[in-house]
Amino acid sequence: MNPIINDQLTAYGWNDGWQQTLAEMEQPLRQYSPARVVAQFSHSYNLMTADGLHSAAVTGKFEFLAAKRGDYPAVGDWVLTEPLPGEKRSIIHAVLPRRSAMVRKAAGSVIEDQIVGANLDYLFIVNALNQDFNLRKIERYMIAAWESGASPVVLLTKADLCPDPEAFAALVEDAAPGVPVHCVSALNGSGKEALGAYLKPGATIGITGSSGVGKSTLLNWLAGHDLQLTQGIREDDARGRHTTTHRELFLLAGGSLVMDTPGMRELQLWDAQEGWQLAFSDIEQLASGCRFRDCKHDAEAGCAVLEALSSGELDPKRFANYRKTEKELAHLARKERSAAKGNSKGKRPRSAGRADRRPNRLLEYMDDE
């Protein structure tokens, strides 16, 4: 059967680009119908199809040929499906190649990836202007954002609680060179107009951040009505329990799509060299001016980084985080190489036509209980 495209799929982001991607898939796969994953649960998915909302599962062949968890569909993915006659259910045969992907290390000791969200245009990094405000945490989220392929945007929520939110915005701008920073408040409605540049019809936006920063409140505010339940935070330390328990994609009235994700209490970097370099692009630029190409920025003569630290141009805490993450990435790269060497024999092949994933892993997120 030929794929049926209608206004419903277009509303969820299907466009000429995706149509071209479908046309380039192998002939046996082109017979199936495209659908977008809008929610993911432990063993099933919700899809938006041309026929409306369907529940779905992958085929047995798909499951057998999946080499890693990251090969499975994720929220935001476009998949090729076979609707079951007379039912609101479909079978997933393949995933279209992802244009961007926010990835994490799967929970546990096994070294493999898990897709948090796929095909994101923007990633809203949310941090509250209360006791939870943390520049170092924002820097780590920036690594994930740059590595994902989505455009990062920092949202400082609960601006109504801060006497000088613009001062904090300036700090974030210094820590995230070239990244837009917006102060917003769902309580008094401030800052919403600036977000219109991202909330365009067909655009997909992921919202990420720690519990208690106001992600679900932000989503409800952008939607104009309650899409997610919200909970308060503990007043003594500004920490909160997450309300979101699974990833889900919501279509807003203006035509944009917003993905909420569970809160994260700990970030462990995971093989994100390119994202690390982009997140610390100012330090990388300084390093290019060092006298020696292999400068370690310890005590070498002619080190431009050390000179910037001495003059006050570079924040010592930012440089310390730069060095810390550099060591983490090197350590984790060694672990992955060791694991890959151990698993090189007997690995199952990937199925033909499956989505090619970005090779770098990003962060390990521990979802709050």
User: Is the pTM here over 0.85, yes or no?
Assistant: no
The C-alpha atoms of residue 138 and residue 140 are separated, in whole angstroms, by 5
pLDDT at 234: 41
pLDDT tens for the 369 residues of the chain, in order: 455 677 899 999 999 999 999 999 999 999 999 999 999 987 799 999 999 999 999 999 999 998 888 899 999 999 999 999 999 999 999 999 999 988 766 555 556 677 889 999 999 999 999 888 889 889 888 888 888 899 999 999 999 999 999 999 999 999 999 999 999 998 899 999 999 999 999 999 999 887 666 778 888 899 888 776 554 444 444 444 444 456 789 999 999 999 987 654 454 555 567 778 888 989 999 999 999 989 999 989 999 999 999 999 999 999 998 888 888 777 677 766 666 666 655 544 443 333 343 433 333 333 332
Angle (deg, nearest 10), helices 304-311 and 316-342: 140
Structure tokens at 167: 């001062």
Q: Could you tell me the CA-to-CA distances from 319 to 71, 141, 148, 281 in Å, in that order?
A: 36, 16, 23, 12
**Top-tier CATH class for 1-97:** mainly beta
pLDDT of residue 109: 57
CATH number of this structure's domain 273-342, picked from the four choices 1.10.1040.10, 1.20.1740.10, 2.30.30.40, 1.10.40.50: 1.10.40.50
Length of the chain: 369
What ranges do the domains of the chain cover? 1-97, 115-269, 273-342
* Three-state DSSP class for residue 151: strand
**Which amino acid is it at 34?**
P
In the block, residue with structure tokens 């977000």: 195
**pLDDT, mean over the chain:** 82
The pair of structure tokens assigned to 250 is 């919501």
Q: What pLDDT was estimated at residue 277?
A: 85
Topology alike, domains 1-97 and 273-342: no
pLDDT tens-digit map of 53-63: 999 999 999 99
CATH number of 115-269: 3.40.50.300
Predicted local distance difference test score (pLDDT) of residue 211: 67
Predicted pLDDT at 235: 41
| Tokens describing residue 284 | 């990388």
User: Strands 204-208 and 122-128: what pairing?
Assistant: parallel
Burial class (CB in 10 A: 0-12, 13-18, 19+), 225: exposed
Q: Give pLDDT, residue 244.
A: 45
Say which DSSP state 79 is in.
E
Adjacency order of strands within the sheet including 113-118: 113-118, 101-105, 363-367, 264-269
Tokens 């107009």 belong to: 193
In angstroms, the CA 337 to CA 325 distance is 18
**pLDDT, tens digit, 9 for 90 and up, residues 178-205:** 999 999 998 899 999 999 999 999 999 9
The C-alpha atoms of residue 277 and residue 272 are separated, in whole angstroms, by: 9
Question: 112-141 burial, b if ≥16 CB within 10 A, otherwise e?
Answer: bbbbbbbbbbbbbbbbbbbebbebebbbbb
Sign of CA dihedral 322, 326, 328, 332: positive
